Amino acid sequence: MAEKAAVSRDVFDRVILPFFAPAQFIPVKGKGSRVWDQQGTEYVDFAGGIAVTALGHCHPALVKALHEQGETLWHVSNVFTNEPALRLAQKLIDATFADRVFFANSGAEANEAAFKLARYYASHRHSPYKSKIIAFHNGFHGRTLFTVSVGGQPKYSDGFGPKPADIIHVPFNDLEAVKAVIDDHTCAIVVEPVQGEGGVTPATQEFLQGLRDLCDQHQALLVFDEVQTGMGRSGKLFSYMHYGVTPDILTTAKALGGGFPVSAMLATEDVAAVMEPGKHGTTYGGNPLACAVAEAALDIINTPEVLAGISERREKFIQGLDAINQKHGVFKAFRGQGLLIGAELSDAYQNRAGDFHKAAAEFGLMILVAGPNVIRLAPSLVIEFADISEGMNRFEKAIGKVLGA
């Protein structure tokens, strides 16, 4: 076997398209909520691969599932079905409102399928002119041209030519704004129960219930993007379960595979029934490798022990952040759901999230941002309490450096 070529961070700048600006260190190994880089430096992981590694790094059950499936069957395409996909679909249906499942590979692909299904359903059942999609400022739904256009952040969608038509954005959590634009030409309202990239902002109960009522009044579909909030992240298997508001279509990805790329669109029988072979598709979606790993992840996450532990861990994180804030006064609000936590910077530190993010890495802590003013934490759902304490100690040191303390 040929020896692997040595790589360093400067290789990125030469060979990778500059869509990203990754950290200067390269992680090479992970176990639980600890990560090590090329130099052997250890990091506590509060980022979770952006809410992906829900069971930490290299969880034994996921490694076992990947290994066993890897020696059995990798890929057959959607000319055939496979047992892992069927088992995973049935378990998702049993655990949710849904009757049908479509598997893809990323959150964007799941959302692309959801938006196409919503428009096709409206055209098929009602009118070809019923195509308006209502979405929200600061929403994020992926990077394909359709999904980035539905997302409410022009900085991500501008500059790529004409955008798909009939998409309207209004303020999040503003039901009156939705009422002002919804009509009988509306096919769907698309919403994140908690806006992730947009600042870790939860929807209010009144807002989501109001959206459900408006959709029912106008024969529109309610689409929940739970790419980031799904699979236990909120403290329940899916965030909609906190609100008691049931969507017609739901998308999930990120934590679904615990680190293996896989996503799903869930739908009711009524909505799914309009589709037929050939209307949409994917080569890799629902492949045996991804579905075997996702089934193992679901079997662990969807248990009373893990779900109950999420609220306990959230409390520990909030206590740690509050203790830091008592000393340094850097935050003005903590928000989010479960282990999707947003710490909004106080007025004195506006636009400094990137500074705190960089300093955290210097002290051996991996965190995230959600815009220039919010620190975002999305750790493993089973992170050890000792790791939370150690990570908070490192975070306080990082904050002290930024503040010059």
Does position 2 have pLDDT exceeding 80, yes or no?
no
Of 238, 146, 231, 152, the closest CA to residue 195 belongs to 152
pLDDT at 26: 96
196-228: pLDDT as tens digits = 988 999 999 999 999 999 999 999 999 999 999
pLDDT at 177: 98
Confidence grade of residue 380 (pLDDT, cut at 50, 70, 90) = very high
Q: CA-CA distance, 284 to 303, in Å (whole number)?
A: 29
pLDDT at 232: 98
Catalytic residue (one of 45, 225, 248, 387): 225
Asked if 191 contacts 133 with a C-beta cutoff of 8 angstroms, the reply is no
Q: Which amino acid is at 221?
A: L
Q: How high is the mean pLDDT of the chain?
A: 96
Confidence grade of residue 404 (pLDDT, cut at 50, 70, 90) = confident
67-123: pLDDT as tens digits = 999 999 999 999 999 999 999 999 999 999 999 999 999 999 999 999 999 999 999
Does position 405 have pLDDT exceeding 70, yes or no?
no
- Alpha carbon 370 to chain centroid distance? 12
Q: Which of 2-16, 202-216, 323-337 has the lowest mean pLDDT?
A: 2-16
DSSP string, 305-348: HHHHHHHHHHHHHHHHHHHHHHHH--EEEEEEETTEEEEEEPGG
The 10 Å CB-count burial string (b at 16+, else e) for 151-161 is bbbeebbeeee
Strand, helix or coil for residue 22: coil
* Angle (nearest 5°) at CA 186 between 180 and 188: 110
23-70: pLDDT as tens digits = 999 999 999 999 999 999 999 999 999 999 999 999 999 999 999 999
Catalytic residue (one of 140, 172, 207, 395): 140
Handedness of CA 178, 181, 182, 188 (dihedral sign): negative
Q: Is 13 a catalytic residue?
A: no
Which one-letter DSSP state was computed for residue 360? H
152-195: pLDDT as tens digits = 999 999 999 999 999 999 999 999 999 999 999 999 999 999 99
Q: Is 166 a catalytic residue?
A: no
Q: CA-CA distance, 149 to 134, in Å (whole number)?
A: 11
**φ, ψ at 24 (rounded to 5°):** -80, -15
Average pLDDT over residues 387-394: 98
Q: Is 225 a catalytic residue?
A: yes
Catalytic residue (one of 136, 254, 334, 395): 254
